[in-house]
């Protein structure tokens, strides 16, 4: 018999699949249309009877990934207005006290959804965890900055979903006091924003930041993106004017105005320091002790840059002159780059730029965050994913670890990145570490201290390395950039 659970807004019927109960497309907020468009999330209308929760709910309005990423990163689109929905996998909806993990997907705040096959929560439920995955508003509708609307709407959505979990997860067998939020890329820096927000108080106990750093910008800076889209549309940069524009046309204008990559730069979307949801820069807040009671697991992949540099052919087009100009743009000193060159004899300028960008934007800031938290009451743990995929020379690129964390190596979506030969044992180990962290706060290796222990998931399997490539890290610390 299919499981039925009573939530605060009504009953939902899920499905039993491979021994776990799955509920898909449960609304945690009203559809962001009509009077709710460009407004903070509000509770959905309650329903009578039993609502079928057997298919993924609508995804947020978004454009597809541009080539060549569209061939590597599947991004399903589910039609409909009610995109503020979530999914639950549970081993026992009649149970109690199970650990809960909430997944926040990435995608530069303008792509992605919870419907990606790689994010299937069955393995977590199999191992005793209630897994929740969340959709939230993307792009200009989630992160635009207007004079007549609140900002950080997508972040407000995520916080509303966490609040829903707090109030409802016990009905699925979960413990609302034992919630771990985890996410990758934009999902990770969204979580950093949550940790810095007073609105997250009491909503989570632990957090995992995969390839994302605390980051936010001023309203004035974020407003530039909104104005670029407005210029494409030929309308004022107000929420009222945007709400009057056909959604398909709005997405076309967004695609034309917004571009670039997290490592390569370009116009994009950001969290905003608004004095309300985000009172201050998350990087500063976390470094100064905010969320010090939250246990934290963070890390990167070894070759983050290769997702953007290799499939596009950019790595081959970067000349020595282009490398020097990029160093000037990012304020990277020649003495710092010299350390990287010495460690990679024969590497071309594209590879050197890629590893510099990876460390400048991800690895070094996360090391600094871990260092700042050494005196915090809660422990911090660091990992690095280094298994090199043979697909298109991607190596251990951005996002490669997700299928290992979810233990979904056999899904077609994951196979696009890993190919068929990915090591199952490595996925078992990484997935188990994430489960153990959610259950106990300890993923199975030493907490961060002066010896800088990093659990590396690479060709040799899980191995703890103390201060990996520390000469490169110190090159930034000694001389700035």
Residue-wise pLDDT tens digits, 209-233: 999 999 999 999 999 999 999 999 9
Task: Indicate the pLDDT class of residue 479, thresholds 50, 70 and 90.
Answer: very low
Q: Report the SS3 class of residue 210.
A: strand
pLDDT of residue 197: 98
The DSSP code for 337 is H
Reply yes or no on whether the pLDDT at 480 is more than 70: no
Q: Which of 477 and 160 is assigned the larger pLDDT?
A: 160
d(CA 22, CA 284): 39
Specify the residue for token string 């201290």.
Answer: 449
Whether 53 and 23 have beta carbons less than 8 Å apart is answered as yes
**What integer is the mean pLDDT of 442-452?**
98
DSSP letters along 148-204, please? TS-S-HHHHHHHHHHHHHHHHGGGGTEEEEEEEEEEETHHHHHHHHHHHSGGGTTT-
Residue 15 corresponds to which tokens in the numbers above?
């499905």
Average of pLDDT values for 277-305?
97
Specify the residue for token string 């105005």.
257
For the chain, what is the mean pLDDT?
A: 96
In sequence order, the 6+-apart residues with CB closer than 8 A to the CB of 288 are 372
Distance CA 16, CA 152 (A): 36
Of the pLDDT bands very low, low, confident and very high (cuts 50, 70, 90), residue 478 is: low
How high is the pLDDT of residue 264?
63
Are 215 and 360 a contacting pair, CB within 8 Å?
no
Give the mean pLDDT of 4-29. Answer: 97
Bond prior to 417 in cis (omega within 30° of 0): no
Give the model's pLDDT for residue 265: 64
* Strand pairing category for 206-210 and 295-301: parallel
By annotation, the residues acting in catalysis are 185, 304, 398
Contact 64, 127 (CB under 8 A): no
Instruction: Give 335-343 contacts, CB < 8 A, sequence gap 24+.
Output: 335/475, 335/479, 336/475, 336/476, 336/479, 336/481, 339/471, 339/472, 339/475, 340/472, 340/475, 343/469, 343/471, 343/472
For residue 384, the number of C-alpha atoms closer than 13 Å in the C-beta half-sphere is: 26
Q: Is 12 helix (H, G, I), strand (E, B) or coil?
A: strand
Q: How many CB atoms lie within 10 A of CB 100?
A: 28
Q: What is the pLDDT of residue 425?
A: 98
Q: How far is the C-alpha of 379 from the C-alpha of 399, rounded, in Å?
A: 25
Q: Which residues share a beta bridge with 12?
A: 5, 51
Q: Are 166 and 181 in contact (CB under 8 A)?
A: no
Q: Are 374 and 449 in contact (CB under 8 A)?
A: yes
Give whole-number Cα distances, 28 to 115, 118, 212, in Å: 16, 22, 25
132 bridge partner residues = 88, 102
Q: Read off the pLDDT of residues 307-337 as tens digits, 9 standing for 90 and up.
A: 999 999 999 999 999 999 999 999 999 999 9
Question: With contact defined as beta carbons under 8 Å apart, do 7 and 47 qualify?
Answer: no
| Phi, psi at 223, each rounded to 5° | -65, -20
pLDDT of residue 459 exceeding 80, the answer is: yes
Task: Write out the two tokens for 17.
Answer: 């699949």
Distance CA 386, CA 369 (A): 21
Q: What is the pTM of this model?
A: 0.97
pLDDT digits 0-9 by tens, 229-240: 999 999 999 999
Q: Read off the pLDDT of residues 60-103 as tens digits, 9 standing for 90 and up.
A: 999 999 999 999 999 999 999 999 999 999 999 999 999 999 99
**pLDDT for 42:** 98
> Which domains, and CATH codes, for the chain?
4-311+373-479 (3.40.50.1820)
Distance of CA 389 to the CA centre of its chain: 21
Per-residue pLDDT, averaged over 273-297, amounts to 96
pLDDT value, residue 261: 73
pLDDT higher than 80, residue 163: yes
Both tokens of residue 400? 């490669």
Q: Per-residue pLDDT tens for 369-408?
A: 999 999 999 999 999 999 999 999 999 999 999 999 999 9
Q: Tell me what the mean pLDDT of segment 180-205 comes to.
A: 97
């Amino acid at each position: 018999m299919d499981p039925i659970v009573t939530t605060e807004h009504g009953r939902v019927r899920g499905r039993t699949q491979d021994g776990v109960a799955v509920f898909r497309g449960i609304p945690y907020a009203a559809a962001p249309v009509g009077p709710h468009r460009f407004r903070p999330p509000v509770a959905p209308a309650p329903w009578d009877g039993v609502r079928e929760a057997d298919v993924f709910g609508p995804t947020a309005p978004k454009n597809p990934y541009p080539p060549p990423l569209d061939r590597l990163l599947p991004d399903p689109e589910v039609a409909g207005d009610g995109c503020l929905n979530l999914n639950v996998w549970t081993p026992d909806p009649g149970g109690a006290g199970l650990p809960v993990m909430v997944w926040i997907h990435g995608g530069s705040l303008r792509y992605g959804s919870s419907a990606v096959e790689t994010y299937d929560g069955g393995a977590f439920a199999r191992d005793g965890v209630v897994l929740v995955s969340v959709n939230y508003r993307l792009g200009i509708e989630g992160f635009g900055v207007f004079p007549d609307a609140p900002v950080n709407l997508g972040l407000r959505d995520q916080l509303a979903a966490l609040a829903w979990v707090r109030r409802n997860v016990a009905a699925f067998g979960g413990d609302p006091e034992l919630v771990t939020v985890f996410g990758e890329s934009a999902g990770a820096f969204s979580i950093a924003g949550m940790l810095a927000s007073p609105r997250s108080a009491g909503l989570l106990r632990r957090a995992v930041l995969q390839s994302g750093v605390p980051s936010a910008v001023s309203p004035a800076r974020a407003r530039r993106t909104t104005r670029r889209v407005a210029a494409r549309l030929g309308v004022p940069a107000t929420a009222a004017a945007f709400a009057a524009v056909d959604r398909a046309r709005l997405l076309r204008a967004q695609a034309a105005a917004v571009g670039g990559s997290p490592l390569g730069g370009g116009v994009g979307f950001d969290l905003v320091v608004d004095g309300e949801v985000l009172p201050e820069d998350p990087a500063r807040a976390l470094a100064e002790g905010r969320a010090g009671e939250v246990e934290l697991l963070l890390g990167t992949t070894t070759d983050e840059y290769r997702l953007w540099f290799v499939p596009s052919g950019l790595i081959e087009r970067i000349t020595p002159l282009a490398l020097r100009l990029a160093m000037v743009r990012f304020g990277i000193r020649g003495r710092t780059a010299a350390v990287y060159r010495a460690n990679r004899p024969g590497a071309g300028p594209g590879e050197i730029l890629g590893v510099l960008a990876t460390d400048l934007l991800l690895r070094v800031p996360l090391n600094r965050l871990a260092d700042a938290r050494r005196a915090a009451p809660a422990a911090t743990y660091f990992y690095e994913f280094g298994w090199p995929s043979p697909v298109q020379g991607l190596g251990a690129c951005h996002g490669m670890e997700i299928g290992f964390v979810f233990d979904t190596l056999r899904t077609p979506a994951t196979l696009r990145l890993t190919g068929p030969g990915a090591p199952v044992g490595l996925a078992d180990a990484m997935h188990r570490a994430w489960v153990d962290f959610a259950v106990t706060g300890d993923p199975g290796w030493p907490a961060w201290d002066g010896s800088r222990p990093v659990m590396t998931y690479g060709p040799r399997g899980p191995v703890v390395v103390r201060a990996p490539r520390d000469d490169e890290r110190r090159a930034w610390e000694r001389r700035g950039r």
